[in-house]
Amino acid sequence: MYDSIIIGAGPAGLSAGLYAARAGLKTLIIEKSNPGGQIAKTNEVANYPGSIKDPSGPELINRMVEQAKEFGAEIITDNIISVNLDGDIKKIESDENVYETRTVIVATGAEPRLLNATGEKEYTGKGVCYCATCDAPFFKDLQVYVIGGGDAAVEEAIYLTNFARKVTIIHRKDELKAAKSIQEKAFKNDKIDFIWNNEVVDFKGEGILNEITIKNTQTGEIKVLKPENDDFAFGVFVFVGYSPQTKIFENSLKLENKYIVTDEDMNTNIDGVYAAGDVRFKKIKQVVTATNDGAIAAISAGKYIEEKFN
């Protein structure tokens, strides 16, 4: 029997584990693979407070894991396949185990949707990016491409003009899906160009990305894009949506666009169940906001246990 089980060991889950264990709760963090989530794939985390020395994603996560363990949090690897969140005691089930707990903190995160183009995974972190706030400074005065046509894609393209020499939006249709007000800002920005009716089918490079192949969605014409002005490389930012990891919670927790709905204290629609990080319905998805969510969720869980069971 645990006081709190945290599903997911990204920044939100590890922060929740740290705060819960430090408060004296018997705490278990369950992660299906390696700790870290998306941040573990990031070469440099320069915008997280205090991450000056060795600011890589893996180094930051290693320190978070070590700190959570020091306070007494147990971290295991297991793949959760179902949950029963009714009643005072919640049950978390994997293929071989059943865990019981008084509170649950869901920190399963969200994964960027991939283009499924050849070479995409190989060049992720080497030119292919999914977060402008995280990676834009690496492409200062270089050319970048933005893939997508929704609000996020166009807003991030506008943001990228603060760093890149030129930003080109590649969209598979002949008009954007973004809100008209956002579109107008992009069309008025002299640093933004557009390639319509095209999709990326291939990423290539020598160590870092410096070539992409696009295909016209109407004619099938193939075109290869390479760095301009003697640039050694360029960046490609993919914004075609996120996939929150909420499938096992679909029949129990309130969702909006597949994200878990919470209040500001991370409470879900079920007493004793909380959500934190990118799996939660919110606007800003950053490491610093994920750790904030995790801390709040753990504090809320502690107060719930104190009032309910003591």
Residues classed as catalytic: 131, 134-135
Alpha-carbon gap, residue 72 to 108, rounded angstroms = 21
Pairing of strands 208-216, 198-206: antiparallel
Could you tell me if 278 and 260 are in contact, meaning their C-beta atoms sit under 8 angstroms apart?
no
Could you tell me if 272 and 103 are in contact, meaning their C-beta atoms sit under 8 angstroms apart?
yes
Could you tell me if 216 and 196 are in contact, meaning their C-beta atoms sit under 8 angstroms apart?
no
Structure tokens at 302: 């502690």
Could you tell me if 228 and 143 are in contact, meaning their C-beta atoms sit under 8 angstroms apart?
yes
Nearest CA to 262 out of 231, 287, 296 is that of 296
- For 216, the enclosing helix (H) or strand (E) is strand 208-216
Structure tokens at 205: 């490079």
CA angle, residues 124, 130, 131, in degrees to nearest 5: 125
Could you tell me if 249 and 109 are in contact, meaning their C-beta atoms sit under 8 angstroms apart?
no
Query: Which residues does 32 contact at the CB level (< 8 Å), separation at least 6?
Result: 77, 78, 79, 80
Nearest CA to 299 out of 8, 9, 22 is that of 22
Buried b (16+ CB within 10 A) or exposed e, 268-278: bebebbbbbbb
Structure tokens at 266: 């991370």
